[in-house]
Amino acid sequence: MGLSWYVTRRVAWAAVVTFIIVTITFALIAASPNPNVTEAATQAALSGEDPNEAAQRERELRGLDQPIYVRYMDYVTSVYTLNWGWSDSTSQPVTTALLDALFYTMQYSVPWTLLSLVLAPTIGLYSAANMYSWKDHLATGFAFFGYAIPNFFFGIILLLMFGVWLDWIPVVYDTGVAVFSLDNAIQLAIPVFVLVTGSIGGTMRVSRNESAEYTNSDFVKTAKAKGVSPLRVYARHILRPTMVPLSTTIVGQLLALFIGSSLLVEVVFGIPGLGRLTYEAILAQDTSLVLGSTLFFTFIAVIGNLLQDLAYTVLDPRISFDDR
């Protein structure tokens, strides 16, 4: 009853949050001038026609002459039927454009997420096990470097080094290569490396600090006295309780990079993924595509936070949802 009621409330609240964000985004874009109307008026003026009449025809063609509440209600209705409108900038349905871009985003986001989930806690645990040694200092320096350097700047530097000077990787992302091929792995190696270094920095430090609290605890000393192997001690008795508070940092870091830094990485490396698609849609003021991508990113963020809360129960069964 406790867990099921908690999940139901979280899902309902997720729907409310999504609705609020989409509403705000729609209002901001509706208040800005439409570039298609401006372009139509400019072309009419250059051709000697009446720019006001041309602008009015363009507004009627795109349904912008209707009251804003009518346009808003039409969009909200279409959201629940997955009819997210037509993208003028890509000349295809919004859902098709998002799925096409998601195909390329998944190619680097899946290995990046898996590597971050494995490397960050492992390096932090290794650093805590060798605290204040040169190994700890090396891991700490790597974490601070990845946390401090901007992803887009780091990506440009690596692209210049390995793409221009050494000519080891293509400068422009090639969409024609097979997904599961060596060529694709080579051209995605640098973007994945940039995102991994940015995501494991803060997570690794949290893992180190949390692991250090359990290294000299009584239950760890008891496990060692009973002859438990060091691998089991660190993996089960130290890493598992560390993952409870660490899961919050991991989800936050990954979501921040997925929504923000991945956009910059896709622009730098020319990957036609969701981040670049959203960036180009904003520049083109493609209202339908911007709202569709906003809804998608909101859904990812809300579901990620929900899974984070549910992971607490798996990692620590003592946590109860009866009073939440």
Give me the pLDDT at residue 17, please: 79
Give me the pLDDT at residue 322, please: 59
Task: Find how far residue 27's CA is from the centre of its chain.
Answer: 24
Task: Return the sign of the alpha-carbon dihedral for residues 150, 152, 157, 161.
Answer: positive
Element (H, E) at 82: none
In a domain? residue 39: yes
Tokens of 250: 């991991």
In a domain? residue 192: yes
Mean pLDDT, contiguous 10-residue spans, the chain (324 residues): 71 80 78 74 77 77 78 79 82 89 87 84 82 84 82 84 84 82 87 85 79 76 76 74 73 68 79 87 81 80 73 64 57
Task: Name, in order, each residue with C-beta under 8 angstroms of 25's C-beta and a sequence gap of 6 or more.
Answer: 290, 291, 294
Shared domain check, 124 and 77: no
Shared domain check, 259 and 123: yes
Centre a 10 Å sphere on the Cβ of residue 209 and count the other Cβ atoms it contains: 15
Long-range contacts of 72-77 (CB under 8 A, 24+ apart): 72/23, 72/26, 72/30, 75/26, 75/291, 76/19, 76/22
Return the DSSP state at 23. H
Cβ contact 15:292 at 8 Å: no
Shared domain check, 274 and 134: yes
Provide the domain limits for residue 40: 33-82
Cβ contact 226:236 at 8 Å: no
d(CA 196, CA 120): 9
Cβ contact 151:234 at 8 Å: no
Give me the pLDDT at residue 2, please: 64
Shared domain check, 107 and 59: no
Shared domain check, 173 and 56: no
In a domain? residue 239: yes
Shared domain check, 154 and 196: yes
Question: Count of domains in the chain?
Answer: 2
d(CA 151, CA 8): 37
Shared domain check, 257 and 229: yes
